[in-house]
Amino acid sequence: MLPKSILIGGVRWKIRELVKMEEKGYAEEDELRITICKKLSDENKRLILLHEVLHACVSCGGEEKKTYTEEEFILRIQAPLLGFLKTYSFKD
Ligand SMILES: [Zn+2]
């Protein structure tokens, strides 16, 4: 069961599940919304949620580059990811 919303970098993102989707999930930065395919298993929903949360962590750091060094990437996502992990548990 996915939460209705989550905090990423102190910003609240809405989460919704849709049945008819081309992708397994996507994150819309302008809407502050993550959409997950309802037909996935619970474990896959968690995996795709994490995937989209990581996209949100990258996008909330301001203007995005095409490529990052490993260090640049980790520095970019560390604060929003820590904030997210403090508020959400992936345990069953
Ligand atoms: Zn992706």
Cα 51 to averaged position of ligand 1 atoms, centre (Å): 6
- Count how many Cα atoms sit within 13 Å of the Cα of residue 16 in the half-sphere of its side chain: 11
Strongest mean pLDDT among 1-5, 46-50, 63-67, 83-87 = 46-50
Tell me how far the alpha carbon of residue 26 lies from the centroid of ligand 1, in angstroms: 7
Can you list the domains of the chain with their CATH numbers? Answer: 5-87 (3.30.2010)
Global pTM value: 0.90
Spacing, Cα 77 to ligand 1 middle (Å): 15
* CA 46 – ligand 1 centroid, Å: 14
Distance from residue 92's CA to the centre of ligand 1 (Å): 23
* Position 65 confidence tier, pLDDT thresholds 50, 70, 90: confident
- At 87, list the tokens: 């508020």
Contact 44, 24 (CB under 8 A): yes
Output the CA 10–ligand 1 centroid distance in Å: 21
Encode burial over 64-86: b for 16+ CB neighbours within 10 A, e otherwise. eeeeeeeeeeeebbeebbebbee
User: Mean pLDDT over residues 69-76, rounded?
Assistant: 95
